[in-house]
């Protein structure tokens, strides 16, 4: 089937970006919900380990839609990978491949490098930095910033909120700093 | 110990539910469907890829800039329409928008999240889609992100905002 072959190929930015943008009015109009994903992490804390911390003492059940949404994201990831798998090899910009090869990355076969994310790295320094430390920064940083790429960069900027633009610039500065200043050092270390 | 109504504004959730009518059971199914579609887009546009994030921060591909940029443009136009024509929700309610007030947390927290974004190759949304795609080690990243959120909640009063 031609249509199925077409959607199995990687989707270009001008298809994916507008679809992600449409999430904003969809959530607003189907249930008066503001788009934001990092909130789900807070709701999980409030539901599982509130520990009498005021920041987690609220009625998380009222926000359960957010947890259902991220559960859907997980299921969507499974469905796309299982039933709409790209038949061709993963394409990476030649310059990025050259840069990362020079830093010791060897596996370019999938969406995530096995050099860093394979299960055997779990209990090594690699796992500690790329999974545990990286994940901690994502959770701690997004909550301190009051949102992530969805809540600030997409929902916030779409609603013309300048603090969200400031937050987004800081996300990018942090990312550039890690990629160009710290990552070469970290990849040498591990 | 759960008390929502008297919480100060700063403690209110950033992606709040503003629907007045309570929703139960099946009504929440629509968020599952939107979430599933969202997850499919994440995988098919390869936004969940650590490599795509590296391309972005190395300025070697336009892909991620195109995705985020066009998402913002579509979001902006949609919100303009909703406000301009006072479009109501399915339940007939007025759509609620929340102004963001600036605080230094957006700078400090934003920088820390950026550092983590380039290490893990994921913001919170893609974390869930990566796990669904079978990258099981990312479960550790997600648990650690939940831990990071919890530690923020614990230290909140001591951090500059």
What is the model's pLDDT at position B9? 43
Between chains, do B144 and A54 touch, taking CB under 8 Å as contact? Answer: no
Residue A154: band (very low, low, confident or very high) from pLDDT cuts 50, 70, 90: very high
Between chains, do A112 and B49 touch, taking CB under 8 Å as contact? Answer: yes
Region A111-130: mean pLDDT is 95
Residue B4: band (very low, low, confident or very high) from pLDDT cuts 50, 70, 90: very low
What is the model's pLDDT at position B22? 81
What is the model's pLDDT at position B2? 37
Name the residue ranges covered by the structural domains of chain A.
Answer: 1-88, 122-190
B interface mutation test: which of A4, A115, A144, A166 has the most B CBs within 10 A? A144
Question: ipTM of the predicted structure?
Answer: 0.96
**Tens digits of residue pLDDT in A45-81:** 999 999 999 999 999 999 999 999 999 999 999 999 9
Q: Which of residues 70-109 of B touch A (CB under 8 A)?
A: 70-76, 78-79, 81-82, 87, 89-91, 93, 95-103, 105-109
Q: What are B110's two structure tokens?
A: 């934003």
Residue B114 has pLDDT above 80, yes or no: yes
Residue B8: band (very low, low, confident or very high) from pLDDT cuts 50, 70, 90: very low
Residue B133 burial by CB count (10 A; 0-12/13-18/19+): exposed, middle or buried?
buried
Go through A57-87 and write b for each residue having 16 or more CB atoms within 10 A of its CB, e for each that does not: bbebebbbbbbbbbbbbbbbbbbbbeeeebe
Residue B12: band (very low, low, confident or very high) from pLDDT cuts 50, 70, 90: low
Residue B15: band (very low, low, confident or very high) from pLDDT cuts 50, 70, 90: confident
Residue B118 has pLDDT above 70, yes or no: yes
Q: Which of A1-15, B14-28, B45-59 has the highest mean pLDDT?
A: B45-59
Indicate the average pLDDT of chain A. Answer: 96
Q: Which residues pair with B17 in a beta bridge?
A: A33
**Tens digits of residue pLDDT in A157-174:** 999 999 999 999 999 999
Residue B3 has pLDDT above 50, yes or no: no
What pTM was estimated for this model as a whole?
0.94
Region A88-92: mean pLDDT is 95
Indicate the average pLDDT of chain B. Answer: 91
Which residues of chain A does B79 touch, with a Cβ-Cβ cutoff of 8 Å? 24-25, 28, 158-159
């Amino acid at each position: 089937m031609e249509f199925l072959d077409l959607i199995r190929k990687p989707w270009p930015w001008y298809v994916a970006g507008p679809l992600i943008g449409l999430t904003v009015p969809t959530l607003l109009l189907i249930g008066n919900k503001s788009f934001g994903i990092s909130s789900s992490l807070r709701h999980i804390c409030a539901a599982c380990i509130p520990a009498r911390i005021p920041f987690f003492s609220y009625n998380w059940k009222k926000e359960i839609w957010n947890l259902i949404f991220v559960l859907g994201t997980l299921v969507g990831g499974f469905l796309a990978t299982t039933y709409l798998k790209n038949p061709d090899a993963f394409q990476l910009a030649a310059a990025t491949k050259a840069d990362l090869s020079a830093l010791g990355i060897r596996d370019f076969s999938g969406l995530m490098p096995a050099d860093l994310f394979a299960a055997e790295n779990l209990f090594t320094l690699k796992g500690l930095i790329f999974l545990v430390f990286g994940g901690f920064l994502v959770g701690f940083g997004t909550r301190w910033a009051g949102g992530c790429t969805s809540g600030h960069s997409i929902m916030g900027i779409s609603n013309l909120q300048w603090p969200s633009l400031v937050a987004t610039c800081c996300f990018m500065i942090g990312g550039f700093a890690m990629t160009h200043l710290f990552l070469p050092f970290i990849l040498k270390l591990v | 110990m759960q008390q929502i109504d008297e919480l100060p504004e700063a403690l209110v959730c950033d992606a709040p539910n503003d629907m007045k009518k309570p929703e139960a059971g099946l009504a929440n199914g629509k968020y599952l469907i939107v979430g599933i579609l969202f997850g499919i887009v994440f995988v098919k546009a390869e936004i969940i890829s650590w490599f795509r994030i590296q391309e972005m921060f190395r300025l070697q591909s336009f892909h991620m800039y195109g995705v985020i940029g066009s998402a913002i443009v579509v979001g902006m136009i949609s919100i303009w329409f909703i406000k301009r024509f006072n479009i109501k929700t399915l339940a007939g309610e007025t759509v609620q928008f929340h102004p963001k007030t600036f605080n230094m947390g957006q700078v400090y927290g934003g920088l820390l999240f950026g550092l983590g974004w380039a290490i893990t190759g994921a913001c919170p949304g893609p974390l869930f889609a990566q796990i669904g795609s079978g990258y099981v080690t990312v479960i550790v990243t997600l648990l650690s992100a939940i831990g990071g959120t919890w530690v923020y909640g614990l230290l909140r009063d001591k951090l500059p905002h």
